Amino acid sequence: MSTLLIGYIKESVERSGIYYLNNEIPVWSEDPLPEHINLRAVLEKIEQIMPSAYFRYVHAVKIGTFPEMIDRELNAMYLDGVLYISNFQASEEDMYDDIIHEMAHAVEDNNRDLIYGDEKLMVEFLGKRKRLYSILKNEGYDVILEEFLNVNYNEDFDMFLYQDIGYAKLNNLVMGLFPGAYSVTSLGEYYATGFERFYMKEGNKISKMCPVLIRKIDLLDELANEY
C-alpha cells in the first residue's frame, strides 16, 4: 500500500473522529481537546516508545470528561481494558504521560504473578513506606503505622497524602525515596509510576533508588519485545 494511500485512509478515519493506536485500538474524544494537542502525534509517540505487545491488553482509549475521574480528581484511569483520558491536557507530553501510566495498569492486570508473585516489589515498597512514616512523624503529622503497611489503594490514605500533606510538599519529603508523590499511594501506583518513568526515559534516574521496581519493568519490557 502506498504512503499516499495510507495517509489518505488515516485522514479519512480522523475526519470521522476515530483514530487508531497501533492500527487496531480505537481512540476517540467525546469532548473537545485543546487546539494545541495533536492527537495523531501523541499516538505516534506512544507507538514509538512502547513495545507493540502491550497494546493487546487494551480494547479502546476514550478521551473526555468522565464523572468518575472528576469525583476522584484524576487525569486518567484504567478499567476493564479501556483507558479513560481527560481531554483537559496542558501539553502533548502530559497526555502521553497519562496514557503510558494507564497502559502500565493494563500490563499489570495481565502480568500480576510476574510483577508481584515473589513479593520482592512489595518488600521494597513497604520498606519505603515505613521510612516515610518516620519522616512524617518527625514532621509532626498524626500518622498510624498500620495505614502505611496496607499496600492496597485506600481512598482515605490517598486523600491524606493529597489534601492534608499536599503533593508539592510530599514530593520534597520523598525525594530520593519514591519516584514521586503519587507512587506513595499504593503498591500498584508505585509500580505504574516506575513503568511510566521507564518509558519516559527516566529509568536511570530511579534505578538506584528503586532497584527491584526497575528490574521488574526491565523484565516486562524484555518479554514484550520477544513477543
Q: What percent of the chain has pLDDT over 70?
A: 93
- Render pLDDT for 41-89 as a digit per residue (tens, 0 to 9): 999 999 999 999 999 999 999 999 998 888 778 899 999 999 999 999 9
**Averaged pLDDT, 85-108:** 96
- Same domain assignment for residues 153 and 213: yes
- Same domain assignment for residues 105 and 119: no
Quote the pLDDT of residue 1: 47
Mean pLDDT of the chain: 91
- Same domain assignment for residues 104 and 122: no
The total number of structural domains in the chain stands at: 2
Closest of 54, 89, 66, 12 to residue 196, by C-alpha: 54
- Same domain assignment for residues 125 and 207: yes
CATH number at 96 reads: 3.30.2010
pLDDT at 13 over 70: no
Quote the pLDDT of residue 7: 46
3-state secondary structure of 118: coil
Quote the pLDDT of residue 97: 94
Cell numbers representing residue 157 in the block: 490514605
Where in the sequence is the domain holding 50, given as residue range(s)? Answer: 3-110
Q: How far is CA 201 from CA 134, 135, 223, in A?
A: 31, 29, 18
Amino acid (1-letter code) at residue 32: P
- Same domain assignment for residues 90 and 130: no
pLDDT at 94 over 70: yes
Quote the pLDDT of residue 114: 97
- Report the Cα 93 to chain-centroid distance in Å: 13
Q: How many CB atoms lie within 10 A of CB 191?
A: 24
Q: Is 140 left (phi over 0), alpha (psi -120 to 50) or beta?
A: left
Quote the pLDDT of residue 176: 95
Quote the pLDDT of residue 12: 38
- Render pLDDT for 183-214 as a digit per residue (tens, 0 to 9): 999 999 999 999 999 999 988 889 999 999 99
Cell numbers representing residue 96 in the block: 502521553
Quote the pLDDT of residue 145: 97
- Same domain assignment for residues 213 and 131: yes
Cell numbers representing residue 86 in the block: 481527560
Last residue of a domain, one of 110, 133, 152: 110
Q: Which of 2-11, 14-23, 59-68, 114-123 has the lowest mean pLDDT?
A: 2-11
- Same domain assignment for residues 125 and 208: yes
pLDDT at 5 over 60: no
- Same domain assignment for residues 135 and 218: yes
